[in-house]
Amino acid sequence: MTTYCVTNPATGALEAEYPTATTEQIDTTLAAAHEAFGTLKAATPAERAAWLHRVADLHAERREALAAIITREMGKPITQAGFEVDIVVSIYRYYAENGPAYLADEPIDVVAGGTAVVRKEALGALLGIMPWNFPYYQVARFAAPNLMLGNSVVLKPAPQCPESALAMQAIFADAGLPAGAYSTVFATNEQVADIIADPRVQGVSLTGSERAGTAVAEIAGRHLKKVVLELGGSDPFIVLDTEKLDSIIKRAVMGRLANGGQACNAAKRFIVLEDAYDEFVEKFTAALAAVSPGDPTDPKTFLGPLSSLAAAQNLQQQLDAAIAGGATVVLEGGQRSADSAFFTPVVLTEVAPDSPVFHQELFGPVAMIFKASNEDEAVRLANDTPFGLGASVHGSDAERAEAVALRIDAGMVSINESGGSAAELPFGGVKRSGVGRELGRYGMEEFVNRKLVRVRG
């Protein structure tokens, strides 16, 4: 049974509980979403853009309150929580400003004569299953392009983030969107399966674990529903030289510890060429050692607790397994105590290919460092993973770094930058990291009917 509640990870206190939806409530929600689809589809792109601008305005106006909610729900440091709201504002603005042009008809040259265009039309009501690590940002990536397109949205939030979900629901209502255009359901896993199967729902987008993605894709496949899946990652951070090592170290720390290390596209495996290895390990370890978890409500705190006690316990189990498997602990840390969600940074080296964690995702402040004798070995290590979300390459020679980047099997590769995201940049991966893309123009190319309209010559 899914339970929707707010348990403050910094204190362990249960602060609020919310009942799951009844079958009747879900049916009412789907009926309203289906009806709203007709209204959204009939609206002009300019009208939809105006709604999204207003959604952006309200996020900006309520920035402090929104940030405080997710600090309480999942422990995000308050300064980073505010930054999350800022990027959400930019996403809604981006689609409001660029969406109408992306929806323009595309003419086709017809060999046999006459004219033809491809018209982009919405599909219908969509289900979004969202995670806890970026409660507003992940929703914006899904909701903004699809509302601009004319699809209605039914949002199933993470069970530990009900209040941020309700805060977003209020924003969409206050922005004046048609009733049912954006709805929130506190559904159980069994109810989610029924929602996906419902003929009024035309597709599902999930951001979450590999396990959840597999389950959703299986159900959606049985019912011939389109899916977009953004799943896990174990992103490599490749270091080619030490010419600008201080800057590289700063990027490495940010890439590993931002949001508590709880990001799918966080830097998780640091692959360093042997000439740079010893100096990188020394300076990176010292930089992580200087970071101590603190009160997430303090604006000066960079590393708060993990999202929950269960998350900290799971990461500690992975760490224990890595050590038992022969990994060398360069920086000791871990769960502060058995009943604490606070987790001190850890650095591991000598993680062998047969170690339990070599092919796993470490969702928190644990860094693995690998030595590579040359670029070929660095690329081999980077690609030796079931995941393929993001990667980054760092070095003083941009052409050399780009040549390495082009050999990495990932959906996104950054050079001299550790991951990151922006409204205009497509986001998504390959292999076990999922299917489909979000953000940018591609965010409006997933749940769309590319309707051919042809006139004979």
One of 264, 361, 438, 446 is an active-site residue; which one? Answer: 264
Q: Between vectors from CA 435 to CA 432 and to CA 436, what angle results, nearest 5°?
A: 155
d(CA 108, CA 391): 37
Q: Give the number of C-alpha atoms closer than 13 A to the C-alpha of residue 173, restricted to the C-beta side.
A: 9
d(CA 235, CA 244): 21
User: Dihedral through CA 386, CA 260, CA 438, CA 201, nearest 10?
Assistant: 90
* SS3 category, 67: helix
Beta strands in 14-82 (DSSP E): 14-18
331, 309 Cβ separation under 8 angstroms = no
One of 84, 230, 361, 438 is an active-site residue; which one? Answer: 230
Provide the residue type at 205 as one letter. S
264 is catalytic: yes
239, 272 Cβ separation under 8 angstroms = yes
d(CA 405, CA 69): 38
d(CA 367, CA 260): 12
Beta carbons within 8 Å of 301's beta carbon, 6+ residues apart = 77, 78, 79, 294, 295
At what angle are helices 78-102 and 63-74 packed, to 10 degrees?
120
Q: Beginning with the edge strand found earlier in the chain, give each strand of the sheet holding 152-156 in spatial order.
A: 182-184, 152-156, 125-129, 201-207, 226-230, 434-435
Bridge-based pairing of strands 328-331 and 267-273 is unpaired
230 is catalytic: yes
> Please, which residues bridge with residue 106 across strands?
118
d(CA 362, CA 360): 6
d(CA 13, CA 30): 34
d(CA 153, CA 173): 13
State phi, psi for 217 to the nearest 5 degrees: -65, -35
Nearest CA-CA partner of 423 in 120, 133, 172, 93: 93
* SS3 category, 159: coil
Which residues carry out catalysis?
Answer: 230, 264
